[in-house]
Amino acid sequence: MTALIARQGSHAVFTSQSKSHRFAQRLPQAEVVEFAESGHMPWLDEPERFFQVVGDWLGRHVD
């Protein structure tokens, strides 16, 4: 199993929202989560929410 979250900061300049969605569509367990207050590094811009999202995803997909 590949563990992945396709994440998207609303202020990201390196990747567009449409690219994140296309990428996620090709991976069976991927999810796109938008971080409204983040750029390219949501783990720095919104750390509490980022790590909550990652933890929740892991809880659903990793035994």
Domains contained in the chain, number: 1
Residue 18 lies in a domain: yes
Residue 1 lies in a domain: no
Residue 28 lies in a domain: yes
pLDDT of 14 over the 50 cut: yes
pLDDT tens digits for 25-57? 888 888 888 888 888 888 998 899 989 998 998
C-beta separation of 38 from 13 below 8 A: no
Domain that holds residue 19: 6-61
Q: Phi/psi of residue 6, each to 5°?
A: -85, 110
Residue 36 lies in a domain: yes
- What pTM was computed for the model? 0.72
